[in-house]
Structure 1
């Protein structure tokens, strides 16, 4: 009797599943608008880049992608808010070198960048430079360092929050040269450049700078990347200047860990397609930032490698705050 009853229940459940169809997945995704939380103020290259991609993927995804700015704490507020959202692919966030590499290693953040975050793709390689105003007395990095040695802590510089990657590079510079600077945090590259141009600080490190260099408002003393930037062929790298530091090119899109694999792949396909298009490359080139595309798997592998490298650097330089 019980066996007959169990068989009846099993048959009824099978019929219900057949009528209801398979569980919702990528085939039904997205059914409504998506949201991308950006960890910077509007106007910086992270913000501009993702807004362009959001516009471009709408046709492939069939739904709008709404961009929302939540600046603060080196971009970690945006990630923290995202990981509290359902892991259904509808809430995403931008990440940068500062938010998923430097900040988690140097400050206390409420997430693990390797366990709590699902990487979707990387869309840009921000070439970072140490910048001064065009009318600055500093014409070389060596002159800046010499003045800092003569006046410890007197020279102010702007960073994206307290523990951004640019600031990390300046700490490496300070350690290598035996000098100290006065760090002043801001909430994005747009604010950093405003602070520099207004005279609030004497230098900054950021990626959104070529238009101001071309307009004779800024001058680059060094680049933080592993090689010289094509737009500044005469500007030395940090390593060429005796500082063992190169800037990781992380500027991408993430979802909460646990997002279904098929939905993650659908998001990856749409955003990678847009980022690899001539239209996006031209958009970024006009802002003098290289489009640097990594897939989900490539970005995940790169993050695991970078965390190991920078954990060692944090211990070596004593950068933990």
Structure 2
């Protein structure tokens, strides 16, 4: 498997060279002489939507074309992916995907497209740790307190996700496997809908991405119990990792990547890759992604394609080992 750290090392020299070529690439062909769409497989207000709108704003200036975000939530982010896969292959339809739709859902759902063949990788946007959150008005202040309550009432606790096969779903099942506890999965059409029920106490917890949960955490609505990544988040330095809380084997992060329709002209793919690199180097974009708890790793098209394939295979193994089925 190709690790994020190794990809970052391999990308360093390529990105240095790319920096010298951006000015020349800025004159290369645009994706298409028409408005550009960024498809999002989640509801407005969630982490994917937030990032898509950041990209849309910056791309509009860089490409000198209108760029709009279209939300098509449902089916574990695959509705938006399907629309992108079957769009005209001119680079005008983009998909801001997560590993939910690219690496997990294909192993659970019958799709009318091949995520590895019908979607052209452009680049990695950000990697976000997932975070175990509960209502700030609830009684649980640590993972141990939550686990003890779950043990006393087996099968009565519910965890939310943004859909079947999402990284939130995978995180919840990994937590169940690692602890030997049992909680019930409650899927929603996007994180923002799940947030309402967590705050209201209708659902007990969620293994959400920091990008969508951070606003509720900073707003005092959510209490963050642990991040599900190998190390603590820079934006949540006082929140321990699950491993620090004694739960191992439940490391799950959410990555966001940009794709377009397979078969798009090479010049358009190169132009989009250059535009993404330019955007991710902007101080205000870096600050926004950091504020969401994320990390930026600039990869070439080829490196991101390798990562996408490796993640597809890794999550396929996790789905089989956990016995996860579409509900």
TM-score for both structures, normalised by structure 2:
0.84
The residue aligned with 2:268 is 263
1:136 to 135, 138, 148: 138
| Greater relative contact order structure (CA < 8 Å, 6+ sep) | 2
- C-alpha deviations, 1:52-75, integer Å up to 9, x for none? 211112232121111111111111
* d(CA) in 2 for partners of 1:294, 1:198: 40
Q: Which 5+ residue runs of structure 1 have no aligned equivalent? A: 1-25
Superposition map of 1:279-294 within 5 A: 279-294=284-299
1:192 to 173, 176, 194: 194
The residue aligned with 1:306 is 311
2:160 to 158, 161, 168: 158
CA contact (8 A) 2:126 2:255 kept: yes
| 1:250 pairs with 2:255 | yes
Give the match's secondary structure for 1:128.
Answer: strand
The residue aligned with 2:220 is 216
Give the match's secondary structure for 2:29.
Answer: helix
CA-CA distance at 1:114 after TM superposition: 1.7
The residue aligned with 1:228 is 232
* d(CA) in 1 for partners of 2:62, 2:235: 34
CA contact (8 A) 1:51 1:67 kept: yes
- C-alpha deviations, 1:151-190, integer Å up to 9, x for none? 2221111101122111101101111222211211112222
> Relative to structure 2, which stretch is displaced further, 282-291 or 85-94?
282-291
* d(CA) in 2 for partners of 1:28, 1:270: 10
The change in CA–CA distance for 1:245 and 1:115 in structure 2 (over 3 A counts) is farther
CA contact (8 A) 2:122 2:269 kept: yes
CA contact (8 A) 1:60 1:270 kept: yes
Superposition map of 1:86-165 within 5 A: 86-165=88-167
* d(CA) in 1 for partners of 2:303, 2:51: 20
* C-alpha RMSD of matched pairs (Å): 2.0
CA contact (8 A) 1:121 1:294 kept: yes
The change in CA–CA distance for 1:247 and 1:292 in structure 2 (over 3 A counts) is farther
Give the match's secondary structure for 1:239.
Answer: coil
Give the match's secondary structure for 2:84.
Answer: helix
CA contact (8 A) 2:155 2:182 kept: yes
Give the match's secondary structure for 2:128.
Answer: coil
The residue aligned with 1:174 is 176
- C-alpha deviations, 1:59-111, integer Å up to 9, x for none? 32121111111111111100011111121111111101211111112333333
CA-CA distance at 1:38 after TM superposition: 0.9
The residue aligned with 2:23 is none
Larger Rg: 1
Give the match's secondary structure for 1:250.
Answer: strand
Q: Which 5+ residue runs of structure 2 have no aligned equivalent? A: 1-27
